[in-house]
Amino acid sequence: MSVAAVISAGEGDAVPALGMAMKVRQRHLDGLFVVEAVIDPDVMIFPHTHSREDECSYLLSGELTYLIGDDVRVAVEGSYVVRPRGMRHAFWNATGTPARIIEMHTPATFDGFYDRVGAILTGYGLDTAQGRAAFDELSTEYGLVQHWDLIPELNDRYGIGRR
């Protein structure tokens, strides 16, 4: 059963390790999961593919660069970025200013992922074997394929991590 709610600015279930808040959860609407996040300069959301969810981002402020399939596109404030399930994608902030986005997933099958990934990041980090293994296991559980092999190429080609 869905639950009506008013989720104000500054509210939602926080995931401090990711600088995000989960706003609309499966308990609110069974078919939609929404998060609001800040993507700091020089931060990349690693290349991955969802097998169960379609995604759409709306840029509240700033600018982000998206890899969608093999295409690289820049999205600015007010842009919607649509990524159907089964399509590899990544995004990063190549500017010196934080970007704010709303991420929408449908259906809401991704609800619960960020709760658990936040615990992995604060407990182990992704730079440890234990953290990476836990993250990969969680990704598999949620039908998410990580494309770790693309990260060095994207870092080199687009200068991510060089600020």
The torsion region of residue 159 among left (phi > 0), alpha (psi -120 to 50) and beta comes to: left
Q: What is the pLDDT of residue 163?
A: 55
DSSP class per residue in 16-38: GGGTEEEEE-TTT-TT-EEEEEE
Among 20, 110, 18, 56, residue whose Cα is nearest residue 10? 20
Q: What is the pLDDT of residue 121?
A: 87
Q: What is the pLDDT of residue 147?
A: 95
Among 3.20.20.140, 2.60.40.10, 3.90.25.10, 2.60.120.10, what is the CATH number of 13-154?
A: 2.60.120.10
Per-residue pLDDT 10s for the chain (163 aa) are 688 899 999 999 998 788 899 999 999 998 999 999 999 999 999 999 999 999 999 999 999 999 999 999 999 999 999 999 999 999 999 999 999 999 999 999 999 999 898 889 888 888 888 988 999 999 999 999 999 999 999 999 998 876 5
Query: What residue ranges do the domains of the chain occupy?
Result: 13-154
